[in-house]
Amino acid sequence: MHSKDQISHDDYQTTADWLLSQTQHRPKVAIICGSGLGMLAEALQCQDSFKYSDIPGFPQSTVQGHAGRLVFGELRGKTCVCMQGRFHMYEGHSLCKVTFPVRVFKLLGVETLIVTNAAGSLADSYQCGDIMIIRDHINFPGLAGLNPLNGPNDDKFGPRFPPMSGVYDKDLRKLAFDICKSMGVSQYVQEGVYCMVGGPNFESIAEARLLHRLGVDAVGMSTAPEVLVASHCGMRVFGLSLITNKVVKSYQDSETVNHEAVLEVSKMRSESLQKLVTELVGRMDINNNTA
């Protein structure tokens, strides 16, 4: 018996089987595009793409800057699947729905998940437009009991009590740094801790100060649930935050943040991000498959 929000193994399998019947691509890498970062999919060669509304069982995107398309294709000869648009808890999706695609990817044969997001910075040394390689995360909704793994555990995906240490793969982080160096962009590349909050409001000044004191480098409204579910089912994870704004921490500061500004900054860094992700996938050690 499953509650209304729970999704059975058969539900994930039905969606995976449908996708496998519609495309010859057999991806080993999945990429989730954050707000305004959908252009990452444009680098894929030999594309097959599907609107979320045409995929059985798939949730729908409702946020501007999240196109709502699943794109299969190749990056440097490696087969990938790319979500142009993710799902957020604040849209009203359950966390099982938010992370639904990740388990479908597992059933497609995906072994590595690349997550990207737009985020506000708390770290004083960060600037707008910086790229932060995610070293670790704080999952505030998770700490409060909002977890996509709540409910009966599906042992076919992973264990009841998964560890969360060392989830962001060390080798991929190092590889990303090396690539940034050779691209000549190290001056705006950081490594830090991402914190997920529920949204959809941006942080109050007191909340921003709290996050800063907790050692958070960047804050956003996504990523942790997808990473959790990917890691639970044994995927290797790499994450990037694009710093789209500095979170206001002072009562003297009259600046405010808005989603349009977030999308503007995403656009500004699109080329570098596309190049970084393409190189990273190209240099990953994965065996490609074809149908």
Q: Give the annotated binding-site residues for phosphate.
A: 35, 66, 86-88, 118, 222
For residue 121, state whether it binds ligand LQZ7MJT6 (rule: CB under 6 A). Answer: no
For residue 226, state whether it binds ligand HPA (rule: CB under 6 A). Answer: no
Side-chain half-sphere exposure of 57, counting CA atoms within 13 A = 23
The tokens describing 247, both together, are 């979170």
Would you give the DSSP letter of residue 161? S
Query: Which one among 99, 116, 223, 244 touches ligand HPA, defined by CB under 6 A?
Result: 244
Side-chain half-sphere exposure of 73, counting CA atoms within 13 A = 21
Integer CA distances (angstroms), 206 to 125, 136, 211, in order = 20, 23, 9
Q: What binding mask, one character per residue, do residues 85-124 give for ligand HPA by CB under 6 A, x or -?
A: ---------------------------------xxx----
> Which ranges constitute the DSSP H helices of 169-223?
170-183, 205-213
Integer CA distances (angstroms), 56 to 2, 52, 63, 73, in order = 19, 8, 20, 20
Q: Which of 35, 117, 139, 272 is catalytic?
A: 35
Single-letter code of the amino acid located at 140 = F
Distance CA 68, CA 85 (A): 5
Query: Which one among 25, 28, 78, 86 touches ligand LQZ7MJT6, defined by CB under 6 A?
Result: 86
Q: What number of chain residues touch ligand HPA (CB under 6 A)?
A: 13
Q: Which helix (H) or strand (E) holds 29?
A: strand 29-32
Integer CA distances (angstroms), 261 to 52, 129, 206, 241, 265, in order = 26, 12, 22, 16, 6
Tokens 């089987």 appear where?
17
Query: 32 is in the binding site of which of ligand LQZ7MJT6, ligand HPA, none (Cβ under 5 to 8 A by kind)?
Result: none
Query: 34 is in the binding site of which of ligand LQZ7MJT6, ligand HPA, none (Cβ under 5 to 8 A by kind)?
Result: ligand LQZ7MJT6
Side-chain half-sphere exposure of 131, counting CA atoms within 13 A = 30
Closer Cβ to ligand LQZ7MJT6, 88 or 97, answer by number: 88
Closer Cβ to ligand LQZ7MJT6, 135 or 259, answer by number: 259
221 is catalytic: yes
Contact indicator for 87, 62 with CB cutoff of 8 Å: no
The tokens describing 236, both together, are 């290797």
Closer Cβ to ligand HPA, 73 or 120, answer by number: 120
For residue 222, state whether it binds ligand LQZ7MJT6 (rule: CB under 6 A). Answer: yes
Closer Cβ to ligand HPA, 65 or 101, answer by number: 65
Q: Which of 83, 221, 230, 235 is catalytic?
A: 221
264 is catalytic: no
For residue 38, state whether it binds ligand LQZ7MJT6 (rule: CB under 6 A). Answer: no
232 is catalytic: no
For residue 221, state whether it binds ligand HPA (rule: CB under 6 A). Answer: yes
- 71 class by beta-carbon count within 10 Å (0-12 exposed, 13-18 middle, 19+ buried): buried
Catalytic annotation, residues: 35, 66, 88, 90-91, 118, 221-222, 245, 259
- Kindly list the residues in this chain that would bind ligand HPA in the complex (CB under 6 A): 118-120, 202-203, 219-221, 244-245, 247, 257, 262
- Kindly list the residues in this chain that would bind ligand LQZ7MJT6 in the complex (CB under 6 A): 34-35, 63, 86, 88, 117-118, 199, 220-222, 259, 262
